[in-house]
Amino acid sequence: MGEITLRDAVTRGLTEALDTDERVFLMGEDIGSYQGPYAVTKGMLEKYGHERIRDTPISEGVVVGAAVGAAMAGLRPVVEIMTINFLLLAMDMVVNHAAKLRYMSNGQIQVPIVIRTVTGGGAQLGATHSQSLEGWFASVPGLKVAVPSDPYDALGLLRTAVADEDPVIFAEHARLYQVRGDVPDDHYAIPFGQAKVKRAGDDVTLVAYSRGVHTALEAAAILEKKGVEAEVIDLRTLRPLDTATVLTSVEKTNRAIVVDEAWRSGGFGAEIVSMIQESAFDSLDGPVGRVAGLEVPAPYNGTLEASALPNAARIVSTIEEIYGI
């Protein structure tokens, strides 16, 4: 057992995959000579060579398209797209090809791709570099979407992603790379579709993922001082989605708030709210609340950007407004 950063956990997972399976190779912009835009692939080019660590042109559609072809031919590519915003340029390859080929071929073709990408705001990178679009991909049958919040989950989920026979979007939040946590030396993997209770409580359920989990935990600490015990659920994957853990919590607390950094309109948080309303309506003491990103492009100014993102104070005030606690 040792404490490492989330960045180190992802690096460890990639190194393991390269060491144990000769079919695995990495491809992406600046992942080789430049050592990786977020330093996750630092030193890998020297260790594994150009055949397995492939720097690519700045053309996301070509990169993902080439990975789809490689996967169809029996390889297991891990693609790094610098930010999830740039994955829009490869949307056709992801949604119309990677996600559908197994179904359209009646299982004759498999596309075991992991697409690693960076999501989220809060780093003052401007409106076109700070979006949380993982919910868009989570709406597509044939894709799986993992959203780790800490080093333990990052490594466990990445191991599962690399072994999966379907395409996986692996979204790493830009503000979580320095988060530290204990990771055991013994091998483990985290199954997709298995949420985690990060904090137990009886008074209100806070449902979140990725950086939102840390925001929810901050809110829970504030609520505790008021005598309110919040239960925090970390979804860990958006597709498949663990509805059972969420519903079990809501049936216990009778109250729920969903935290989602994406915009409120059409955000994945709305899917969670709908699921709770449909399946646990009789357990609710009031409507399910949402704390989401404001309906604006991400500001560059740090103070303005912070005000547009969910924070602990907004979670607490939402609980007070809806439930009076």
φ, ψ of residue 116 in degrees (nearest 5): -85, 135
If you average pLDDT over every residue of the chain, what do you get? 97
Two structure tokens written together for 101: 């080929």
pLDDT greater than 90 at residue 1: no
Q: Residue 301: its pLDDT value, please? A: 97
SS3 237: strand
Measure the CA–CA gap between 266 and 245, rounded to whole angstroms.
23
Measure the CA–CA gap between 20 and 35, rounded to whole angstroms.
22
Q: Residue 100: its pLDDT value, please? A: 98
Pair 219, 201: CB distance under 8 Å:
no
Is 60 noted as a catalytic residue in this protein? yes
In sequence order, the 6+-apart residues with CB closer than 8 A to the CB of 263 are 292, 293, 294, 295
Pair 102, 109: CB distance under 8 Å:
yes
Read off the pLDDT of residues 3-41 as tens digits, 9 standing for 90 and up.
999 999 999 999 999 999 999 999 999 999 999 999 999
Range 282-305 average pLDDT: 97
Q: Where are the domains of the chain?
A: 2-183, 196-323
Two structure tokens written together for 185: 């030396």
Query: What CATH number is given for 2-183 in this structure?
Result: 3.40.50.970
Range 154-158 average pLDDT: 98
Q: Residue 83: its pLDDT value, please? A: 97
Two structure tokens written together for 263: 């915009």
pLDDT greater than 80 at residue 43: yes
Q: Which CATH architecture has domain 196-323?
A: 3-Layer(aba) Sandwich (3.40)
Measure the CA–CA gap between 164 and 126, rounded to whole angstroms.
34
Range 102-122 average pLDDT: 97
Say yes or no: do domains 2-183 and 196-323 share a fold: yes
Is 261 noted as a catalytic residue in this protein? no
Q: Tokens 């960076």 correspond to what residue?
A: 118
Q: Which residues of 271-307 are buried (b: 16+ CB within 10 A; e: fewer)?
A: bbbebbeeebeeebeeebbbbbbeeeebbeeeeebee
Measure the CA–CA gap between 156 and 184, rounded to whole angstroms.
10
Measure the CA–CA gap between 298 and 120, rounded to whole angstroms.
10
Range 70-99 average pLDDT: 98
Read off the pLDDT of residues 130-154 as tens digits, 9 standing for 90 and up.
999 999 999 999 999 999 999 999 9
The one catalytic residue in 97, 129, 173, 214 is: 129
What is the Cβ-side half-sphere exposure of residue 105, based on CA atoms within 13 angstroms? 13
The one catalytic residue in 60, 172, 231, 261 is: 60
Measure the CA–CA gap between 322 and 189, rounded to whole angstroms.
38
Q: Residue 191: its pLDDT value, please? A: 98
SS3 303: helix
Read off the pLDDT of residues 163-216 as tens digits, 9 standing for 90 and up.
999 999 999 999 999 999 999 999 999 999 999 999 999 999 999 999 999 999
